[in-house]
Structure 1
Amino acid sequence: MSLAQWSLHRTFQSGELNAADFARIAKSEFGLDAVEYVNGFYREKGTDQGFWKEMLQKSQDHGVKNLLIMVDEEGDLGNLNDTESQKAVENHFKWVDAAKILGCHSIRVNAFGEGAKDEVRKAMVQSLGKLCSYAAESDIHVLIENHGLYSSDPFWIKSIIEELNAPNLGTLPDFGNWCLSAKWGSTQADDCAEVFDRYEGVRTLLPFAKGVSAKSYSFDEKGEQTKIDYGKMLGIVKESGFEGYIDIEYEGMQQTEPEGIRLTKQLIERIWETL
């Protein structure tokens, strides 16, 4: 298992914890020795190679493996305007470079764009082709996550991957982001107008997966997830033959972030032993 940095986003945003200490926190506080970074906590450091070398040293000092960088808010790769989509592609380059320095295997991107579904798909194929070519030079994979709107249709994502057929293009299936009618795709609240079946969605994306995001929301008194059947979901992951990391991404509000992380870790461990 690994720890997604978003699990502590409120704590980092408040300044209670320093994002530069993420590797240490994952290991010392939660006993996890692999991490996924979120670029939003390092906006001003994107091109600072010295900073990323320091971050690599910190992770090595604590015996923590860096897996990927989740990249948000760098422009829509599916923008129908060629100039804007090219700008978005180039905005991602610095995170590929940072991932390379950290020793990550991937960056995670979003498949967003405004327009007709097939037109946005065509734009995504074009943009991802350019980004994957750049990333391949550093042996970095580019992973698409289901994150709302068109990207929460796994068959749409699958069609992009199959058409482009780039060896370093894959997926990061998320247990929770299956809202087709809202950006970011959260299904934490019961306010999504159109939701894709999360179990079918994860099953469809797993053949292309380089990681799995175990999204968690609220827990009941027995330590079970109230929104997601973890037994069913982890069974799907196990049956697929997936052998990578399952990253803990607590996003709930009822428990504190540290408590939510620990409860997610315990739930995964308990269920996995029975599969």
Structure 2
Amino acid sequence: MKLSVSIWSVHEKVYNKEMDNIDFISFCHDNGVKYVELLDNFLSPDKIKDLKRKLKEYSMEISSYSINNDFIQKNEVDRRKQVRYIKESIDIARDLNAKFIRVFSGNEKTGIAFEDAKQWIIDGFKAVVPYAEKNAITLVIENHGLFVGKSDQVKELIKAVNSPNFKSNADVANFLLADEKPLDAVKNLKDHIGFVHFKDFKELPAGSNGYKSLSGKIYQGTVLGKGEVPLKEIIQFLNDNGYKGFLSIEYEGMGDPIIDTKESIEFTESIIL
């Protein structure tokens, strides 16, 4: 398996202008990481040449180019815009030599029926997968939100889209938000996983601030290995089932993102197979 780190792990630093993509790449290089996951909302077109130059200097690669599409749009014109957005993102990923694009389904909105939203998601991805196939890019859908939070929902969507270039981005901690055991969810998706977000959550007392699960439990991100996700067991299962792809660390805790991401890298290196 190949160790990657997502720039989302240090998003606080990026939003505060304390770090940019180049700084993040250097941070990963300094900590022995050869692959980085970048986000489109942090990428400026005029900086791509500098970014590619830095990657070449360090002999590093982009594991995934992650975007923030949303097919839950009442207006068909807006849904078509999302299709165009993903196609444009495929062009950028190709330019960056990234083989994966993390995608979302969309966010729940008032006044939109669940079944309508499901069909829009399916139709949207069916419209873009031919372009992904043509450009040798694999779209990986993250288990996130109401529509594809559970592993069965992810599997149903993948089967409906029916493309070798549309797979699961198994976010191992997010399954807790769907009240699903992470290892069970990974086992359920074993034939469909194209990319893995390696992340850990811990449960907080009721009434705390944090991510709320479907049943109302409250979770907060933590340093990898200090939460409730059975990360060692997940790695063992993936290895036993022939997964050779990326494990992309996505730290979402409340501590210092630099210190905690370093600790998360060290932990993952100690258990990776």
Would you call these one fold, judging by a TM-score over 0.5?
A: yes
Q: Give the unaligned 5+ runs of structure 2.
A: 201-220
Structure 2 residue 192 is the aligned partner of structure 1 residue 208 = yes
Q: Secondary structure at the match of 2:63?
A: strand
Report runs of 4+ in structure 1 exceeding 3 Å deviation.
Answer: 78-81, 113-118
CA distance in 2, matches of 1:259, 1:232: 25
Which position in structure 1 is the counterpart of 2:149? 152
| Residue 38 to residue 206, structure 1, CA distance change in 2 (3 Å) | farther
Which residue among 80, 84, 95 is the counterpart of 1:86? 80
Q: Secondary structure at the match of 1:151?
A: coil
Which position in structure 1 is the counterpart of 2:208? none
Structure 2 residue 126 is the aligned partner of structure 1 residue 129 = yes
Q: Which moved more, 1:90-99 or 1:116-125?
A: 116-125
Which one scores higher on RCO, CA 8 angstroms, separation ≥ 6? 2
TM-score in terms of structure 2 length: 0.83
Q: Secondary structure at the match of 1:15?
A: coil
Which position in structure 1 is the counterpart of 2:116? 119
> Where do residues 1-275 of structure 1 align in structure 2 (5 Å cutoff)?
1-28=3-30, 30-42=31-43, 45=44, 48=45, 51-72=47-68, 74=69, 76-114=70-108, 115-178=112-175, 187=177, 195-216=179-200, 217-219=221-223, 224-253=225-254, 255-272=255-272
CA distance in 1, matches of 2:174, 2:89: 23
- State the Cα RMSD in Å: 2.1
Shift of 1:257: 1.1
Q: Secondary structure at the match of 1:112?
A: coil
CA distance in 1, matches of 2:234, 2:175: 14
Shift of 1:13: 1.0
Letter in 1 for 2:129: C
- In 1, are the aligned partners of 2:169 and 2:193 still within 8 Å (CA)? yes
CA distance in 1, matches of 2:151, 2:106: 14
TM-score in terms of structure 1 length: 0.82
Which position in structure 2 is the counterpart of 1:191? none
Which position in structure 1 is the counterpart of 2:203? none
How many pairs does the alignment contain?
Answer: 248
- In 1, are the aligned partners of 2:64 and 2:101 still within 8 Å (CA)? yes
Higher normalized strand content (fraction of residues) = 2
